[in-house]
Structure 1
Amino acid sequence: MDKLAVLIPAYNEAQTIEKVVKDVLNVTQSINGTVIYVYDNNSKDSTVELARNAGAVVRHEYAQGKGAVIRRMFREVDAEVYVMIDADDTYPVEAIPEMYDKVKSHGVDMVVGDRLSSTYFEENKRPFHNVGNSVVRGLINSLFKTDIKDILTGYRAFSFEFVKTFPVLSRGFEIETEMSIHATEKRMLVENQVISYRDRPEGSESKLDTYGDGMRVLKTVLNLYRNYHPFAFFGAISTVFILFSLVVFFIRVVQPYAETGLVDNMPTLIVTMILLLIAVISFFSGMILNSVQAKDKRDFELALIEASNRKKELSN
């Protein structure tokens, strides 16, 4: 079992991977038992050779996508503490020892490398990314009642328990959103650590699709809110249908009936009843799924205990 596993997902990062690996080796010399893993995701340049020559353990994930890479890393690597950092040399490796100490000595489950509270908005040259980061942070902190300062950062530290109980469902860059919400909803201890950020060096190309990845992130937020807060989600749908049906019912059916004593708009009455039925179904669906979610929370606590016991066995 490694003392510290530094996980670096990489795809066509020949320009920066060697520097990142050597910088990580330099700052982790004092942490005995550190292993640097570079997980290559079908790179077509010299990323693999450069990473291996720099001193990293190189492994491969052939299913394309950052989420697929992280699933592979979390499944294969056993360590007391994990630090995940991007291969593009935009994050300061000097923060690794402090992030390691927070997990190792203070029992933190996830340390979030917070770019947005430092230099991100000055260094990042893509304005829509700035807006997107702010929108996603505000949306998640509002919906999930948390205070994570940087939802989409790729610089994080994790405990063994987090890594071995986190179900990776996303395949792309929305994985960071999934991590943040999972930690919050499972009441795991999360801390923010302000880090400096520098933009990619000239000639290094970002793999992010501003609009495509942005829409996938928003879709992930919506799906996770539905999964973690089903009663609130379906209750809101139920409320909308009830209000809409009552307004339509009153205007198109009740008012004419009060004046003439006749139901002049029978199709409208039928539609109104259908809307009310949908509202009732949504309400009870939310109640049932809320009970299922409560059971999932209890099962997760048992999974945490199992992960802790496994960690003790591996340590011995």
Structure 2
Amino acid sequence: MSGEDVLTIDDVRAAQRRIHGVAHRTPVLTSTTVNNLVGAEVFLKAENFQRVGAFKFRGAYNAVSQLSPDQLRQGVAAYSSGNHAQAVALAARIAGTTAVILMPEDTPDSKLAATRNYGAEIVTYDRYTGDRVALGNKLAAERGLVLIPPYEHPHVIAGQGTIALELLEETGPLDALLVPIGGGGLMAGCSTAAKALVPDIRMVGVEPEDADDTKRSLAAGARVSIPVGRTIADGLMADTPGRLTFSVNRRLVDEVVLVSDDEIRAAMALAFERLKVVIEPSGAAALAALLSGRLDPLPARIGVVISGGNVSLSRLHEILGQ
């Protein structure tokens, strides 16, 4: 399946209709302080205010809501470092079905607790030695569950693309849009929507320095695998871009820039102190890239996806204390 086959703007618009009234239409934040620091007009799409605290609910609900009655009776499975886990758990509860989630052993306690609170069963694995895709497929097959992957699914990607639709509906045309990249589903959905609405928009992906699989893959012209990185941005610790997501992103993404953990910390601190919002490390990556001067040349009007805010008070104190 090619990138052209995976997704169109019509799929994203259909997802927008499907999630309407269930997912939140999140606010677009602006700040004179941020504008002055950057030297451009900046629009922050605050998915930390989404249900489950992250953008993942959009794609999870769009996928689960399209399951047949027979599939819903089977129950669903997912693998996730946290936010997709919570999203699938909540979407399953809304749809009246059950969820079993495969999660890394070192997932922050707050994300484990939240996933359980939405009613899901959790099975853990070691992210540094285990293949979560193989383990997730095995779990789903053994239990007869419908697997909802975190990004390798057209309905999931379409749901994430509704972020760019909402943003551009509110701001009008933008010169650039910065999007964090883990497996690539958020970027694939957003780039599909944004490029259809504003063909010359500059789509900029952001990865941690120690988890740059998409940047390396784009440079190589094919998907490459890297060792699982160690970064505070646990939601961006992919080792290989998704097959479907990469087929989209290699066509539509203009560049990928890298940020350090210290730059992510600085962005989190600024968001807390000046914007009065709490964002998790993965959610702060795109803002970190902008604040650290990664865009050259600098566009005049810039959108930034703040992808999530799921960080506990103790973890926030630990990160910012460093």
- TM above 0.5: no
Between Structure 1 and Structure 2, which shows a larger proportion of helix residues?
1
Q: TM-score, normalised by structure 1?
A: 0.31
Q: TM-score, normalised by structure 2?
A: 0.30
Which structure: larger Rg? 1
Identify the structure with bigger relative contact order (alpha carbons < 8 Å, sequence gap 6+).
Answer: 2
